[in-house]
A and B are shown apart, each in its own frame.
Chain A
Amino acid sequence: MDAAKGLKLKNIFSQNAIWIVLVALILGIAIIDANFLSITTLRDMMVQSSTRVIIALGAAFVLITAGTDLSAGRVVGLSAVVSASMLQMPDYASKFFPNMPELWLAIPIVIAIVVGLLVGLLNGIIVAKFNVPPFIATLGTMVAVYGANSLYFDMPPNNSQPIGGLRKDFTELGTGAIGGGQFSIPYIVLIAIFVAFIVWVVFNKTRLGKNMYAIGGNIQAAHVSGINVARNLMWIYAIAGALYGLAGVLEAARTGGASNNYGNMYELDAIAACVVGGVSTTGGVGRVKGIIAGVLIFTVINYGLTYIGINPNWQLIIKGLIIVVAVAFDIRKYVAKK
């Protein structure tokens, strides 16, 4: 009876280990500097986490199929530039498209997201139809997308100038909030929560989600079970691309500008957050809750350790350690079960 109880407690711990680590981190920082627990700090961290959550969720789609997506960061950069280029103030001096009329806000946003989706679809086609390993396929698109983005960014009259002077209604998306003062909730956080909810629904309540877990769990069995593996993979990569696209739009809105270097290396942060959040590197396993916790842990480390004045280089070392230790623990869980 007691043993069973102990086991149950152990299970609760191991299943929520990441949240316990997260709370411990926050409390640890708060002990050093109690001001850390202010609403402003927490809101800042939520805002910082928002686009990262969206990118990580996109990467998770691909990781759960036992794939990987290195193109995430460059797609963020591409969609940031694409959306920003069409959303400058009409009277701004150096406009990307000098003669562009003021578009309805949704149009450039949708275009940017569709651009991301198309890159993702391309990844999916290369992986599913041409059987190129995902690492290589997305390495190729990662490089090529940056090239394409830089070409676009270099078009006259812009000539590689950072795109600025973004419309207020657009930047409001990234910086505005519902309510005012202390208790306001930033739009960007609401968007991230909404996206997380939709992704949770897709993961758990739809055929695509079940097929995604099945493909990652055993791609051969998925094929034999009559799952259209190629079509599902193309959808999955395309959705991932669309999420990176959305994240790029939000990055442009949040920072009020864009350049071709936006999003550089974000894919590594996203993959790190996923694996720390319990997404199995061998496929078939991963939950939205864990991925969010993974992102939050890295944000707390970034923000919190800066807050208490720890050298940013130390933060990198700590981040690296956490990635390796988390995966080592995760793998141990499976090895022990054998």
Chain B
Amino acid sequence: MAKQHPYLLEMNGITKTFPGVKALDNVTLKVRPGTVHALMGENGAGKSTLMKCLFGIYKPDAGEIFLDEQKVDIKNSKDALNYGVSMIHQELHPVPQRSVMENIWLGRFPVKGIPPFRFIDHKKMYRDTVALFEDLNMAIDPNQLVGELSVSKIQSLEIAKAVSFNSKIIVMDEPTSSLTGNEVEQLFAIINKLRARGVSIIYISHKMEEILRISDDVTIMRDGKYIGTWPAPELTIDTIITRMVGRDLSERFPERTNKPGDVMLRVEGLTSPHAHSFKDVSFELRKGEILGIGGLVGAQRTELVEALFGLRSVKSGAIYKNGKPITVKSPIDAKKHKIALLTEERRVTGIFPVLSVMENTAIANLGIYENRFGFLNESKMRKEAVSGVEKFKTKTPSVDQLIRNLSGGNQQKVLLARWLLTDPDILLLDEPTRGIDIGAKYEIYSIIIELAKLGKSIIMISSEMPELIGMSDRIMVMSEGRSTGILNGNTASEQSIMRLAAQTG
């Protein structure tokens, strides 16, 4: 019965149950050799659980895994590597203080000499690294410290490392989440090269346009169940979304019902002390207005809003609120002036993972719960946390749940509730829907519009152009630290934003 193996990897009937949750229910994943296989689904659909089963981090309750039609039992990620399966994580974990080549060959350094006098063969390691990079068309110095590399270079390095293990299957989890347009092209070139050699890529991403461009097959999961696998050319963004959420999202954005009023915030010539950061940025923000900020990675948008919030210093320029000049030197000042910030890095600068939803909600505003003896009124704290959970339909068993057990979208809702308790006039939202699944995104959009309707002024940074266009009254586009133009949200197009975003000099 000689035949060509149709599949390089087959995962059949994978089921995994956690206390109270069926995380995976009879899931199938079949990956053809030499293809890019997109794995899609909302957050919580079970994509990462499935991958953890592949890498032996979780042991499935039922189901079988075949590699090249051989049944395999992968016990840990080292086993996986030996079977030729490797993963590029969303968060990269290199050793920043060591060189590029040491990072690649970590744990399997080439050695020379006779035991017990064996030493690391640095020359061979250098040669092998250069050969590896040449093979993949990567321009990285093997001796450079990894800490000095950009995110995209580190990612290339991780891919090279996977290739050096002769991996037949490489899993990429949100590989483009922090790459610029150019770097995405480089990544795709590498992916194409690997595909041509027969390597299969399992590609996990939320970015539909990318997936339709790069992938051959698409497997969609929903609520821990397998929905199906289709050839990518047969799919459109709408059909993918419909299958992922199981309902028609006829509109991706709620209707904007907010009415911009008088000028709330005026920024004039704001300039950072750092040469490559924001320069001479001026704009106005009205009461009840949503001002989008667009631009490529490196446009210094985050730096700008962090300066408005007092997290970064300002060399020159002025900020006026309601016509009066204000200085914001710290988040404490920002809170005094009723400015709130939802940071981009939710896990790094937003949540307190080991604290409860209630504590996470109350923390920025403990003063209002303090009685005159300095004691906190816990029942009031609880009441407001509960009302925040109810208002935003946050999915959590109770407000006593640790926030780290919530999904990204629900964590974001808790953070929104936290900042709303400070009763801000101005809300700075830095990529508020990053890493959040589509259903929850729509809910966050509705909340943002509702807040604008209540007269809050909102600045929203987003790297997703449809989101900018769908949500903003006006869009300020930045490039290399400067504002290159302000567009009307009703008439802006992706092309007009892109033109301004790419404008240099």
Chain B residues positioned under 8 Å from A216 (CB to CB): 354
- Of the candidates B335, B376, B378, the one having the most CB atoms from chain A within 10 angstroms of its own CB is B376
Q: Are B366 and A207 closer than 8 Å at their CB atoms?
A: yes
> Which of B165-173, B210-218, B279-287, B345-353 touches A?
B345-353
Chain A residues positioned under 8 Å from B420 (CB to CB): none
Interface readout for A201-236 with B: 1 if CB under 8 Å, 0 if not? 100011100110110111011111111100000000
Chain B residues positioned under 8 Å from A213 (CB to CB): 352, 354-355, 359
Q: Are A218 and B353 closer than 8 Å at their CB atoms?
A: yes
Tell me, yes or no, whether A118 is within 8 Å of chain B by CB.
no
Interface readout for B351-366 with A: 1 if CB under 8 Å, 0 if not? 1111100010011101
Chain B residues positioned under 8 Å from A224 (CB to CB): 309, 311, 331, 341, 343, 349-350
Q: How far is the CA of A228 from the CA of B366 in the complex (A)?
A: 12
Closest to A205 in B: B375
Closest Cβ–Cβ distance, residue A188 to chain B (whole Å): 28
Taking a contact as CB atoms closer than 8 A, the residue among B334, B352, B374 that contacts A218 in the complex is B352
Chain B residues positioned under 8 Å from A201 (CB to CB): 375
Assess A207 versus B374: contact at CB under 8 Å? Given A214-B363, A224-B311: yes
Chain A residues positioned under 8 Å from B343 (CB to CB): 224
Tell me, yes or no, whether A148 is within 8 Å of chain B by CB.
no
Q: How far is the CA of A274 from the CA of B282 in the complex (A)?
A: 53
Tell me, yes or no, whether B466 is within 8 Å of chain A by CB.
no
Tell me, yes or no, whether A285 is within 8 Å of chain B by CB.
yes
Q: How far is the CA of A201 from the CA of B373 in the complex (A)?
A: 12
Assess A284 versus B354: contact at CB under 8 Å? Given A221-B349, A223-B331: yes
Chain A residues positioned under 8 Å from B353 (CB to CB): 217-218, 284
Closest to B341 in A: A224
Q: Are A220 and B349 closer than 8 Å at their CB atoms?
A: yes
Q: How far is the CA of A216 from the CA of B355 in the complex (A)?
A: 10
Closest to B342 in A: A224
Q: Are B355 and A214 closer than 8 Å at their CB atoms?
A: yes
Q: Are A221 and B334 closer than 8 Å at their CB atoms?
A: no
Q: Are B359 and A210 closer than 8 Å at their CB atoms?
A: yes
Interface readout for B296-328 with A: 1 if CB under 8 Å, 0 if not? 000000000000010100000000000000000
Chain A residues positioned under 8 Å from B352 (CB to CB): 213-214, 217-218, 221-222, 284
Q: Are A226 and B354 closer than 8 Å at their CB atoms?
A: no
Tell me, yes or no, whether B418 is within 8 Å of chain A by CB.
yes
Tell me, yes or no, whether B400 is within 8 Å of chain A by CB.
no
Q: How far is the CA of A221 from the CA of B378 in the complex (A)?
A: 22
Tell me, yes or no, whether B189 is within 8 Å of chain A by CB.
no
Tell me, yes or no, whether A280 is within 8 Å of chain B by CB.
yes
Tell me, yes or no, whether A265 is within 8 Å of chain B by CB.
no
Chain A residues positioned under 8 Å from B505 (CB to CB): none
Tell me, yes or no, whether A7 is within 8 Å of chain B by CB.
yes
Instruction: Indicate the size class of the contact surface on chain B.
Output: 20 to 34
Tell me, yes or no, whether B367 is within 8 Å of chain A by CB.
yes
Closest Cβ–Cβ distance, residue A338 to chain B (whole Å): 9
Closest Cβ–Cβ distance, residue A233 to chain B (whole Å): 15
Tell me, yes or no, whether B370 is within 8 Å of chain A by CB.
yes
Q: Are A225 and B362 closer than 8 Å at their CB atoms?
A: no
- Of the candidates A206, A217, A222, the one having the most CB atoms from chain B within 10 angstroms of its own CB is A217
Q: How far is the CA of A214 from the CA of B19 in the complex (A)?
A: 28
Tell me the total A-B contact number using a CB cutoff of 8 A: 80
Tell me, yes or no, whether B332 is within 8 Å of chain A by CB.
yes
Q: Are B376 and A206 closer than 8 Å at their CB atoms?
A: yes
Q: Are A217 and B374 closer than 8 Å at their CB atoms?
A: no
Chain A residues positioned under 8 Å from B341 (CB to CB): 224
Q: How far is the CA of A214 from the CA of B356 in the complex (A)?
A: 11
Q: Are B376 and A226 closer than 8 Å at their CB atoms?
A: no
Chain B residues positioned under 8 Å from A206 (CB to CB): 370, 374-376
Q: Are A228 and B350 closer than 8 Å at their CB atoms?
A: no
- Of the candidates A210, A214, A225, A285, the one having the most CB atoms from chain B within 10 angstroms of its own CB is A225
Q: Are A220 and B370 closer than 8 Å at their CB atoms?
A: no
Q: Are A228 and B376 closer than 8 Å at their CB atoms?
A: no
Q: How far is the CA of A201 from the CA of B366 in the complex (A)?
A: 15
- Of the candidates A211, A218, A221, A283, the one having the most CB atoms from chain B within 10 angstroms of its own CB is A221
Q: How far is the CA of A221 from the CA of B418 in the complex (A)?
A: 12
Q: Are A226 and B331 closer than 8 Å at their CB atoms?
A: yes
Considering only residues 354-402 of chain B, those with a C-beta below 8 Å from chain A are 354-355, 359, 362-364, 366-367, 370, 374-376, 378
Q: How far is the CA of A222 from the CA of B343 in the complex (A)?
A: 12
Closest to A223 in B: B331
Assess A226 versus B332: contact at CB under 8 Å? Given A207-B367, A218-B353, A285-B354: yes
Q: How far is the CA of A211 from the CA of B352 in the complex (A)?
A: 11
Q: How far is the CA of A60 from the CA of B362 in the complex (A)?
A: 23
Considering only residues 43-84 of chain B, those with a C-beta below 8 Å from chain A are none
Closest Cβ–Cβ distance, residue B207 to chain A (whole Å): 26
Considering only residues 47-98 of chain A, those with a C-beta below 8 Å from chain B are none
Chain B residues positioned under 8 Å from A218 (CB to CB): 348-349, 351-353
Q: Are A284 and B332 closer than 8 Å at their CB atoms?
A: no
Q: How far is the CA of A47 from the CA of B334 in the complex (A)?
A: 50
Chain A residues positioned under 8 Å from B374 (CB to CB): 206-207
Chain B residues positioned under 8 Å from A205 (CB to CB): 375-376, 378
Chain A residues positioned under 8 Å from B354 (CB to CB): 213, 216-217, 280, 283-285
Assess A227 versus B363: contact at CB under 8 Å? Given A217-B353, A284-B355: yes
| List of 3 A-B pairs having minimum Cβ-Cβ separation, nearest first | A217-B352, A284-B354, A226-B331
23 A-B pairs with C-beta separation under 8 A: A205-B375, A206-B375, A210-B359, A214-B352, A218-B348, A218-B351, A218-B353, A220-B349, A221-B348, A221-B349, A221-B351, A222-B352, A223-B311, A224-B331, A224-B350, A226-B331, A226-B332, A226-B334, A226-B335, A280-B354, A284-B352, A284-B353, A284-B355
List 5 other contacts, CB 8 Å, given A206-B375, A211-B363, A217-B354: A213-B359, A221-B352, A224-B311, A227-B364, A284-B353
